[in-house]
Amino acid sequence: MGQTFNTQVYDIVRRIPAGCVATYGQVAALAGRPRNARMVGYALHSNPEPGVIPCHRVVFRDGSLAPGFAFGGPGRQRVLLESEGVAFTEASQQGNAGADGPRVDLSRCQWQA
């Protein structure tokens, strides 16, 4: 019997190395369901092993962070990513990202699965 979609998502996210991020769409495509980025978000929100499955390493396609990161509140995702050496765009490092908030520099940090 095959894996459930959520199990596939968790297996993929476990492989994202520290210092790298993947997008929700990238994880969905790797799970064989490229149009299900939103379902990746639902799966990660139900993360059965916080701290083991590094859901903080998954970001939106523009590099923006989840506004209400489920495992520690707003700002925690950025703290976790920065502690791993993930780079943010110059504007967000200076606090000038605007209403959209900080963005990961995907050109430097996106996981090449």
Residues 28, 55, 66, 109: which is the catalytic one? 55
Is 20 among the catalytic positions?
Answer: no
Higher pLDDT, 29 or 71: 29
For 31: left if phi > 0, alpha if psi spans -120 to 50, otherwise beta; the answer is: alpha
Confidence (pLDDT) at 62: 95
Confidence (pLDDT) at 104: 95
Asked whether the CA dihedral 101, 83, 107, 69 is positive or negative, the reply is: negative
Residue 40: name the closest of 18, 16, 17 by CA: 16
Q: What is the CB neighbour count within 10 angstroms for residue 78?
A: 18
- Rg over alpha carbons for the chain, rounded to the nearest Å, is 13
Confidence (pLDDT) at 5: 96
Average pLDDT over residues 108-112: 97
Question: Which domains are present in the chain?
Answer: 5-108 (1.10.10.10)
Confidence (pLDDT) at 92: 47
- Whether 62 contacts 101, CB under 8 Å: no
Confidence (pLDDT) at 2: 64
Residue 76 sits at the vertex; the CA angle it makes with 33 and 23, to the nearest 5 degrees, is 20
Confidence (pLDDT) at 54: 95
* Beta strand pairing call for 22-23 and 58-59: parallel
- pTM beyond 0.85: the answer is yes
Confidence (pLDDT) at 91: 58
Q: What are the Cα distances from residue 36, in Å, to 1, 25, 31, 93, 109?
A: 21, 7, 9, 31, 22
